[in-house]
Structure 1
């Protein structure tokens, strides 16, 4: 009997070349991150509002250096990752969620990279899997150690108290003894500030959260769609929204930073839950409609706010435009007609078509939808339908609704 083992030709790819290829693919995957499209839309929303991309890139750099060059990451190498984890816990993310996101992130990259490999590259899989297990154990141990040490610091009790107070106020409960702190008295009135994300530049959200957290007397709270701050309102009666804009240096940022802040004043503690609900909807509407403003209020979007809160009626409105789906030029014309204040000549110039063509297309819109853009009731319904469809396409959701949301 021949006891010689014959190597499987499908496992003979050069390991070093395969590993470099995996590194390039993983780096590209991280660099093209977009939480609203596949495959990234399967990741937890909390990974997006925790500035996932910068840490993912550093993790990939350190991991592949470990696999390819056999250099174990030093404590100094991983310090930015540890600091980020500690900051997230300070901001209200639980340790379990922080560590779970590491596991989910590693599984995501693994699930995306393996199908891209050719059969002759499979030989590196056992080694990469082993090194990944070792790397994850190393990072998680350092995060846990840092958080244990951090929890021993006096400021930990202060952070815990602030989170408890924020949770109580937003849910309409009295914070009780948690709010007793002579050195940092609880403000009588707050500007409820809800942050929602588009696709911000990596690191943007971390800087924003740090700026808000450092506003005197501010309380932070994490929620299902992002995070919220209770910012004390000045007693002088000035415009709190303007004070916030100035304090966070949010004037004239170009291009748009791709985050939106919904605000609502709460002149008393009893008013906080209602203001919180309002600010959440405002922030979600601003995100879905990609409004040019960064700090947004209900009074600046009364039409859109009303449509956003109609629930099933909103979805019915959105469906009114379904007949135009097969003729995108009609939808484009309707958008231009609304955006140009119903001016036929302006629409013709914007779309580079004849004025008579505009009239013809508007007639077709009326025929297909049953609502005449040239009639006040018709155009108002179509405007509502357009807003509703934009909200639906971005998975608009607020606390009163319970349905799956991408990302």
Structure 2
């Protein structure tokens, strides 16, 4: 019975599969073992290294003399793999790529670009393949095809192994640096630091800093039931940290979690990036969520006190239900002064006490002020008729004595609402400064 198409496919083997496992050189080109031109690995290595020094290294600005030893080992390892592969018709196993992975790891630590490592491997393979195929004759077509397949498979394995080792080392370096800089930031925030510990990780302590409190809201992916919320939060934070490094460079020290934290941005030359509306927009875009930040400028020895202040300002932003964005002391000076005495704040907010039993009236006051005292917009926000707004404002006036049709009444209501919101958001059990 003739074989079906499926059976023919199953019974078909590639030349690589037929050659694999042989103990003798099974790939012949030009009447001899294909790997013959590569057996003098020292000479071929020297030729490849010379080519790399002349034509590749200048493209990357690499210090060839410092990298020569590693480069020789890398090229030599690649040639040994190629020779063994051509002799036995089998692509090396991952376990045989140790020397290449080690070189990639060292170069990652030295800051050599990954593209330079891949290029070095590629050039070595290209030159070796040229030497292998040079003596080919017209009846070597099938052998050349097999050699080409083997070389492609080997390059895939080498590049994958080198890239994985390189990226792994880069992540470790990044984690170590991040941990070290977080230690410096923690020391400065607690004023327990010493310049020596900072120098060990390449961080120069500045005379003054922008101290930033940052709130990072949830990314939509963190609320998606079909996704891993922890992974989404880590990705958000990783994007943000990357952008902070891109915008501020080594001047930035960060203590951040998925919900926010503290940034210290060293101040120096006037041309250097500072925390402003534009830079916060870049960070928000990278994190893919709207950030809220408060910032003050501080001398280094005052950083702990300044950090407490910016986080207090951030609390005021949240309690005042302000939109995301950048806030400085001048934007929150009234709210800040209100919080200096909890007892005074309570007294100011007390004017709204009669509205506790009428939440719709309190919400009307809030919406009216947020709408710039426009009854039409207020009605639209509350989904009620403008006449209902007027009626509610008259009830507010009767209960509290605040006439929201006058400038004095508007000012009194605004301050009272700020105090009310602050007390509503304040942590239970907070110290009453005025009572002490």
TM-score (norm 1): 0.49
Q: Looking at both structures, which has the greater relative contact order when contacts are Cα pairs under 8 Å and sequence separation is at least 6?
A: 1
TM-score (norm 2): 0.46
